[in-house]
Amino acid sequence: MKSPKFLISGGGTGGHIFPAIAIADEIKRRIPHAEFLFIGAQDKMEMEKVPQAGYKIEGLWISGLSRSSLLANLSFPIKLISSLIKAKKIIRTFKPDAAIGTGGFASGPALFTAVNAGVPIFLQEQNSFAGITNKKLAAKSKRIFVAYEGMDKFFPNNRICLTGNPVRKSLFTNKISQKEAKEKLGLNTEKLTILSIGGSLGSRTINNFWKQKANEVINLGAQILWQVGKSDFSSLDIENNFNNKEIHCTEFIKEMEIAYAAADIIVSRAGAIAISELCLAGKPTILIPFPFAADDHQTKNAEQLVKKEAAIKVNDRDVSQELLPKIENLINNQELRESLSLNIRKLAKPNATEEIVDQILTEINLDF
């Protein structure tokens, strides 16, 4: 029996890596004898995360163009040529039946080389504002899987498939009740819970807000489950400044499915995968877009939800003035919480990964 081979490239951030792994996992579930090879940027987090997920990866010497330093861009042409040469060698040796790109530095040379070798390519775009790599490759792709409406301003309309973003299955299978989730996390089951998440590294803006305003929020009758993140956790004087049984600080929440279940209100950054998870969690949400994301895509992601009355947005620069009143309004307005929850659930796409894999396998039409 022929073992189909899939080349997958995406990285630089978790927003590119985890969708790529989710797609590979679903293909592997359906075709256990399939072979996979990832291509990433050699100094980026995919070189660690992909092997942890059980897949082989090759690294390219590639990086993005710097927006702040022209000097830093002088080596870019050399890196690009080096990456194209290595990608060509990898593809000639591996001989993939299909190549899948989820964005990031390495997916450009990897998929460009693949399509020139006659390999069908597929793109997955997480954000409402398309990344430069996917825009460049769009005309040569078989299908482009997107999470937002209106993406025909970036891509050929006849190749777009509105599927949503692949997310971790474990987050939304075997859900537990809110009461049980609060008990597992040591929270007061009678109190409204605010979950604050700023990514694995954390959000300096959100963390500074809680440092200044956590006790005021507690006085409103709520409790806080605060994922501080790696960057700030070691410097946070929890014992002296947050010695309150209603403030639960942690560096990283491993069991996010329990945290989502426990939450009554969520405060979060607006990364594409975070938003896809939040839609599935279905809780009233305040989004604080990271203002320095490429092309300010987090703001554009958040605005898509605001238009549908599915979330509240607070700009990063306005957090110190606006976030506390927004939280207080949600705490005191059950009708608004229910409305936001209902509207954000309508945007959830729980079968995104399955639909993407359906399309890929149908398109390449191989006899497995």
Annotated binding residues for UDP-N-acetyl-alpha-D-glucosamine: 13-15, 127, 168, 200, 253, 298
Residue 161: which of 124, 132, 136, 121 has the closest Cα? 124
User: Which residues does the annotation place in the binding site?
Assistant: 13-15, 127, 168, 200, 253, 298
Residue 352: which of 260, 244, 269, 280 has the closest Cα? 280
- Under 8 Å CB-to-CB from 172, ≥6 apart: which residues? 257, 280, 281, 350
- CB 148, CB 304: distance < 8 Å: yes
Q: What's the CA gap between 154 and 209, in Å, rounded?
A: 36
Q: Terminus-to-terminus CA distance in the chain, angstroms? A: 7
Neighbours of 146 (CB within 10 A): 26
Hey, what are 214's tokens? 């956590």
Residue 313: which of 281, 284, 334 has the closest Cα? 284
Q: Which helix (H) or strand (E) holds 174?
A: none
Q: What's the CA gap between 18 and 168, in Å, rounded?
A: 8
Q: What's the CA gap between 135 and 146, in Å, rounded?
A: 12
